[in-house]
Structure 1
Amino acid sequence: MSQQAAKKEFPKSIYVIQHLAFEDLGSLEDIFYQNGFRVRYFEAGVDDLKPALEYEGLTIILGGPIGVYETEDYPFLKDEISHLKSRLQRNLPTLGICLGAQLIAHALGAKVYAGAHKEIGWSKLNLIDANQNLLAPLEDIEVLHWHGDTFDLPENAQLLASSEFYPNQAFQLGEQILALQFHIEIMAENFEKWLIGHTCEIRSANLSIAKLREDNHKYAEQLEQSCANVMRNFLVNIGAI
């Protein structure tokens, strides 16, 4: 048997932990389908997350409006964090977005805490060493930010991107673990769900729903195109394609 034939095939399902119904994979889902993957969702707070966090294929942890540190109010976070720590110790392929990125940072021993102000809306990233950066396709691209918490950079992690207000917007640990504070997955046609679901947060932050909608029309389609290139880079990195 050749060495190539003996190589273990990467699992063709992607497991996704969802903390909020309308914050799904967005444009990522079609990218994964186009590359021959199936997708299985797990609902945090309802489903047992252990199978998703012990899975040897790619597991994605999506965003949500709760904080990593709110374990008394949301006890399921304790198990999610515990299983995530074990997963990261095993260096299994993992992508975290927004809350998912904060959970990864926390599980790696970094501090997660409330930021000075909420960062909600579209703006460009400052990429670190852009030419050799996994996120290089996002250079000069407006991305969607939607968070109030932030995190310190975990030990041994490589910083990939910053923003005007928050120095740690994205990091990777080795080839298998990627954490994105911003929302790379947003899909133009689904954005109205965010405006409905987050209306209380938008109004409390004195933001314009009309402006957020206008910016979505301006920027989301280009982000979808660039997002596809970032995800292909990541899938190549983890040996999935």
Structure 2
Amino acid sequence: MRIHVIADVVDSDGGYVVERLEQRGGEIVLLDRDALPAYARGADLILLLGSDRSAHEPKWVGVVEAESAFVRAALRDGTPVIGICYGAQLMARALGGTSWRADAAEVGWQRIDTTDPVLCPEGPWAQLHSDVFAPPPTARVLGTSWRGTQCFIDDSLGTRAIAWQFHPEVTPTTYERWVNEGYYGDGGVDEKDLIRQAYDNAARSRIAAHELTDAALTFLGVDA
């Protein structure tokens, strides 16, 4: 199974999700979203990782448009896509939704409301973002929080895609770095408590991420 992972080169750790994909026999190919090539066949799955940027910011419009076109081309060609956090927002915009700055950041390990405990278990899941999104009109929403959509699926271009706003992939060391670098974008949070939550939840989060990755591969029809 060949997997193209689209990420920022300075933050390309796919954590527990990529770990599980590799355990399932996946070959990971990293693609820099700032220098994304035109879509070409060759991947069995595309994974869109998170970013500290915002998909709605005008300064990133060229990068967002290029990645959006890549996602649409992949789905039309039969290659399924998974999006996480920024990747979920990007996928939403690519398929007709939108995203914007939230009133306040969503941080820490939070439970979510779900209609599908397999593709979108209630968690708790890691959150660390300052943006929210509206899913495309063709999507089916599987999970929400008080901030907004947490999971959706879509097959409007002929191939299945799934997106999670939360972070199933994140390891405690990566989460700690994100907190220290201010990824959530707001002040007034207890940074030491957020880091403590990351380490306290590490063992459970790894198991949950592996199970979620397995469920997504089954849903997407990817044989690994």
Task: Give TM-score, length-normalised by structure 1.
Answer: 0.82
Aligned position for 1:178: 162
Which one-letter code corresponds to 2:106 in the other structure? E
Aligned position for 1:145: 127
8 A Cα contact 2:64 2:90, kept in partner: no
Q: Distance in 1 between matches of 2:67 and 2:3?
A: 17
Aligned position for 2:73: 86
Q: Distance in 1 between matches of 2:104 and 2:58?
A: 22
Answering whether residue 122 of structure 2 is matched by residue 134 of structure 1, we say no
Q: Distance in 1 between matches of 2:61 and 2:95?
A: 20
Computing the radius of gyration from Cα coordinates, the structure with the larger value is 1
In the TM superposition, what is the alpha-carbon distance from 1:73 to its structure 2 partner? 4.5
**Percent of aligned pairs with the same residue?**
23
* Residue in structure 2 matching 1:221, options 189, 194, 203: 203
Structure 2 stretches of 5 or more lacking a match? none
Secondary structure in 2 matching 1:192: helix
Q: Distance in 2 between matches of 1:153 and 1:195?
A: 27
Residues 91 and 205 of structure 1: CA distance in aligned 2, closer, same or farther (over 3 Å): farther
Q: Distance in 1 between matches of 2:166 and 2:125?
A: 7
Structure 1 stretches of 5 or more lacking a match? 1-11
Q: What is the CA deviation profile of residues 116-138 of structure 1, one whole-angstrom value per residue up to 9, with x for unaligned ones?
A: 221122111111143xx422xx3
Which one-letter code corresponds to 1:134 in the other structure? L
Answering whether residue 7 of structure 2 is matched by residue 15 of structure 1, we say no
8 A Cα contact 2:153 2:162, kept in partner: yes
Aligned position for 2:223: 240
Q: Distance in 2 between matches of 1:203 and 1:16?
A: 25
Aligned residues: 220
Q: Distance in 2 between matches of 1:215 and 1:15?
A: 30
8 A Cα contact 2:104 2:186, kept in partner: no
In the TM superposition, what is the alpha-carbon distance from 1:194 to its structure 2 partner? 2.0
Which stretches of structure 1, 4 residues or more, deviate above 6 A after TM superposition? none
Kindly report the root-mean-square deviation, in angstroms, between the aligned alpha carbons of the 2 structures.
2.2
Aligned position for 1:101: 88
8 A Cα contact 1:14 1:37, kept in partner: yes
Q: What is the CA deviation profile of residues 111-159 of structure 1, one whole-angstrom value per residue up to 9, with x for unaligned ones?
A: 22222221122111111143xx422xx33x2111111211112123111
In the TM superposition, what is the alpha-carbon distance from 1:91 to its structure 2 partner? 4.5
Which one-letter code corresponds to 2:7 in the other structure? Q
Residues 164 and 105 of structure 1: CA distance in aligned 2, closer, same or farther (over 3 Å): same
